[in-house]
Amino acid sequence: MDTRYDIVIAGAGLGGLTAANRLSSMGYKVLLAEQHSQLGGLATAFRRKGHVFDVALHGFPDGMRRSLRRYWGRAFSDQVVQVKSIRFHNPQYRLESTFDTVDFSRKMVEHFRIPRERVEAFFARIASMNYTDDQSMTTRQLFQEYFPGRTDVWRFLMEPISYANGSTLDEPAISYGIVFGNFMSQGVYTFQGGTDLMLEMMRRELAEGGVEVCTGCRVERALLEGGRVQGVQVDGRNIACRALLSNGSLFRAALELGGREHLSPEYLAGLEKVRPSTSSCQVYLGIRRGEKLPYLGDLVFHSTAPEYDAEALCAPVPTSRTFSVYYPELRPGSQEYSLVASMNARYEDWTGLGREEYARRKEALVEDALRTVEEYVPRVRSLVDYVCAATPLTFQRYTGHVRGATFGTKFEGLKFSQELPRQIPGLFHTGSVGIIMSGWLGAMNYGVIVANEVDKYLAGEER
């Protein structure tokens, strides 16, 4: 590391990566410091025993293609391909969809027997929503208005979003509407070549743009003079900078990097009421080289719960799980098949366990995943040659997120993220805050939004 930069970015999730690329293109000298040994945050991949596993549901909306092209270049957007099939298997229905407005509308009319004009009115309402709208209406109230008592329809509309970002029926309808509207435009997409290729392309792009990337180093705190950021401490070493952009936990950005003593009582009181979102568990199943999986669909939403239940989604004993199925076509030239099971989870159910109980609970997750996959591939156990599981403690360890919150904070966190540089000039935050900023597209776009705010701040300083 050098001794001086214009901007230090703490955390190389998609928000931090994109902010770094954006700011370097404006001519700033940027250090991107990541505590982990690799980039990506929760949008990453890892290798075990010859297998590559993506740590995410492999789906994002069409808007990701546009954002990749605009902020990273055409080589990135050209790698985006559409996911072919999303399957729903639960006690209320078994359906397959391309997950776009046309197909979802068709299913609601033909399968669920909802009048077409009501479906069209619902989607028109969704399309008109904006995050500055009134927050008093909940998603439950919205569904009850258009589809009273139809819990099967509620499940069809809500369950995939809950899997993706931890939202519930009792949160603001606008947060649901904005996320759902993004996904329901033109289907679901993924990055051909896998997350590992995308991150390697980003690393090369940053290097060409002059961004200095340092992995395995932790930004510990901001150094203030006159209440403004004038530097950072990285692994005990002081580095001069004009701004610090934290890409990670909102609570860590404000309380650890900034410092409680530099925040107003009103801000602290409000921040204490911000709810961390839920966390996740994942099970990674590697298929032995030379073996194949039949086509199961790209994403399988599988649940044994009688109805949609946000609490049941997070229960320690899974009733609902999503399978991301990876075929060789995702990584051209490879012959790899793998599955990743994702389950929403609560941090409180995993912390404080003894070593033996923790191991037993992880083994139970693996067994649940294998038993569920057997419904589709009866001989799957003979095909798998590597298995491992991740819990909320795993995600806390690798990302530093408070309570392992894989989806950041609930909706109210956005206000305190945006307010932080007014509390401590020069300290900015980007990350998953509020449901509208979660997921790959939200993280990337919020990184750009905050990078632009950093640019305005530095330009004002110069004047």
Q: What does the angle CA 74 – CA 80 – CA 85 come to, to the nearest 5 degrees?
A: 165
Residue 144: its pLDDT value, please? 97
Q: How many CA atoms lie within 13 A of 380 on its CB side?
A: 23
Residue 117: its pLDDT value, please? 96
Q: Are 423 and 295 in contact (CB under 8 A)?
A: no
Which is more confidently placed, 84 or 94? 94
Lowest-confidence segment of 6-20, 108-122, 159-173, 238-252 by average pLDDT? 159-173
Reported as a single tens digit per residue, the pLDDT across 257-281 is 999 999 999 999 999 999 988 899 9
Residue 436: its pLDDT value, please? 66
Count of helix runs (H) and strand runs (E) in the chain: 17, 20
pLDDT at 131 exceeding the cut of 90 = no
Measured CA to CA, the distance from residue 59 to residue 164 in angstroms comes to 9
Residue 299: its pLDDT value, please? 92
Integer angstrom CA distances of residue 167 from 133, 158, 163, 183, 317: 18, 9, 8, 15, 19
Which is more confidently placed, 405 or 321? 321
Residue 410: name the closest of 272, 277, 247, 251 by CA: 277
Residue 435: its pLDDT value, please? 62
Measured CA to CA, the distance from residue 44 to residue 198 in angstroms comes to 9
Task: For 236-283, give the DSSP string.
Answer: TEEEE-SEEEEES-HHIIIIIIIIGGGS-HHHHHHHHTPPB--EEEEE
Lowest-confidence segment of 238-247, 302-311, 402-411 by average pLDDT? 402-411
Mean pLDDT, to the nearest integer, of 94-122? 93
pLDDT at 57 exceeding the cut of 70 = no
Q: Are 276 and 248 in contact (CB under 8 A)?
A: no
0.85 surpassed by pTM? yes
pLDDT band at 440 (very low <50, low <70, confident <90, very high): confident
Q: Are 285 and 373 in contact (CB under 8 A)?
A: yes
Q: Residues of 196-205 as b/e, b for ≥16 C-beta within 10 angstroms?
A: bbbbebbbeb
Residue 367: its pLDDT value, please? 97
Token pair 């949609």 is found at: 308
Residue 30: its pLDDT value, please? 98
pLDDT band at 432 (very low <50, low <70, confident <90, very high): confident
Reported as a single tens digit per residue, the pLDDT across 32-56 is 999 999 999 989 999 999 899 999 7
Mean pLDDT, to the nearest integer, of 275-288? 93
Q: Are 31 and 241 in contact (CB under 8 A)?
A: yes
Lowest-confidence segment of 211-220, 283-292, 316-325, 402-411 by average pLDDT? 402-411
Residue 273: its pLDDT value, please? 96
Mean pLDDT, to the nearest integer, of 117-140? 87
Q: Are 239 and 231 in contact (CB under 8 A)?
A: yes
Q: Are 199 and 38 in contact (CB under 8 A)?
A: yes
- 237: amino acid identity, one letter: R
Measured CA to CA, the distance from residue 104 to residue 186 in angstroms comes to 11
Mean pLDDT in the chain? 92
Residue 3: its pLDDT value, please? 95
Q: Are 143 and 153 in contact (CB under 8 A)?
A: yes
At 402, list the tokens: 């408070």
Residue 317: name the closest of 282, 343, 355, 287 by CA: 343
Reported as a single tens digit per residue, the pLDDT across 296-347 is 999 999 999 999 998 889 999 999 999 999 999 999 888 899 999 999 999 9
Q: Are 305 and 251 in contact (CB under 8 A)?
A: no
Integer angstrom CA distances of residue 17 from 29, 198, 211, 222, 224: 14, 11, 10, 20, 24
Reported as a single tens digit per residue, the pLDDT across 340-372 is 999 999 999 999 999 999 999 999 999 999 999
Residue 51 neighbours by CB under 8 Å, 6+ apart: 284, 286, 336, 338, 386
pLDDT band at 87 (very low <50, low <70, confident <90, very high): very high
Residue 367 neighbours by CB under 8 Å, 6+ apart: none
Q: Are 107 and 93 in contact (CB under 8 A)?
A: no
Measured CA to CA, the distance from residue 69 to residue 73 in angstroms comes to 4
